[in-house]
Amino acid sequence: MSSETLTAQETDWRQPSPRKVAMILVILTESALFTIFVVAYLFYIGKSLVPPYPHQVLHFPWLGSVLLFGSSGTIMVAEHHLKKGSISGFHLWWAITFAAGVGFLFWTINEWLHLIYQEGLTISTNLFGSTFYSLVGLHASHVLVGAFLLGLILFMSLTGRIRHYHHEHVEMISWYWHFVDCVWVVVITVVYIISANS
């Protein structure tokens, strides 16, 4: 009688891809984490008791933003090449993306060295320092993880372990990378535009 019910309706049974659902949830939980740091930053704008203040030391992050936003475009081109089956094109654009990610990290290191040694702003200086380094640092740590994943994919691909049918796996890395990019939009708005002009 169970075989009867089994054959009763041979309709196709579709469910969402586990990878995609899992990545959406990872992005959701990460967004919640970032939200708290963003709220803390906004809440403490203008409440630092001692200098330096944001408008004195922050410069708009042109280089970092170009690198990061550009990499969101190049990763899409790379994906497109993988889907088409052009592995060499994928290598090229993926390597560019990876380089941009690493470049962003070096830009951050440079910015922080400047802030710490030239401007004397550390995490314990004032509320601005505390909230700035924890929010930007949290974002940078996500870029670090993203760059590691990009490097891993690049390495696996160069050693011939990634084929065009892996495009969904690779797409998940790119989703994460786009998320890191979106967070950067929020960080720019909150840190480099709102707080630096208030």
Partner 1 sequence: MANGTTTVDVGEEQLPARPGQERGTLTGWIQDLIYTVDHKKLGILYIGMALVFLVLAGIMALLIRAQLAFPDGHVVSPQTFNSLFTVHGTVMIFWVAMPLAFGMANYLVPLMIGARDMAFPRLNAFSFWLTFFGGCLLFFSYVGAPGLYGSGGAPAVAWMALAPLTSRAFSVGPSTDYWSLSLLVAGIGSVTGAINIMVTIFCYRTKGMTLSRLPLFVWMIVTTMFLVIVFLPPLSAAQIMLTLERYLGAKYFDTQAGGSAILWQHFFWIFGHPEVYILALPAFGVLSEVIPVFSRKPIFGYPMMVAASVLIGFISAGVWAHHMFTVGMTSFGVTFFGVATLAISVPTGIKIFNWLATIYGGKVRLELPMVFAFTALFQFLIAGLTGVMLGVAPFDWQLNDSYFVIAHFHYVIVGLILFAVFAFFYYWYPKVFGRMLDKKLGFWHFWLFTIGFHLTFDPQHIAGILGMPRRIYTYHPGRGWELWNFISSIGAIFQALGIIFFVLNLIWSARKGKVAGDDPWDAWTLEWMTTSPPADYNFEKLPEVRSRRPLWDLKHPDDPDWKFE
Of 29-37, 92-100, 147-155, 169-177, which part binds partner 1 (CB under 8 A)? 29-37
Q: Considering only residues 42, 127, 156, 172, which one is a binding residue for partner 1 as defined by CB under 8 A?
A: 127
d(CA 71, CA 149): 14
Should residue 118 be labelled a site residue for partner 1 when binding is judged by CB under 8 A? no
d(CA 122, CA 126): 8
Residues 44-63 that bind partner 1 (CB under 8 A): 44, 47-49
- For the chain, how far is it from start to end, CA to CA, in angstroms? 73
Determine if the peptide bond prior to 51 is cis (ω within 30°). no
Q: Considering only residues 74, 97, 108, 126, which one is a binding residue for partner 1 as defined by CB under 8 A?
A: 126
Nearer to partner 1, 93 or 179 (CB): 179
For residue 2 the two structure tokens come to 């169970």
d(CA 26, CA 70): 23
Q: Are 90 and 82 in contact (CB under 8 A)?
A: yes
Should residue 145 be labelled a site residue for partner 1 when binding is judged by CB under 8 A? no
Nearer to partner 1, 44 or 175 (CB): 44
Nearer to partner 1, 123 or 152 (CB): 123
Nearer to partner 1, 98 or 133 (CB): 133
Dihedral, 126, 47, 108, 69 alpha carbons, nearest 10: 170
Should residue 112 be labelled a site residue for partner 1 when binding is judged by CB under 8 A? no
Should residue 152 be labelled a site residue for partner 1 when binding is judged by CB under 8 A? no
Residue with tokens 């081109």: 77
Helices (H), 85-166: 87-113, 127-158
Catalog residues that contact partner 1 under the rule CB under 8 A: 1-2, 5-6, 8-9, 13, 15-18, 21-22, 25-26, 28-30, 32-33, 35-37, 40, 43-44, 47-49, 123-124, 126-127, 129-131, 133-134
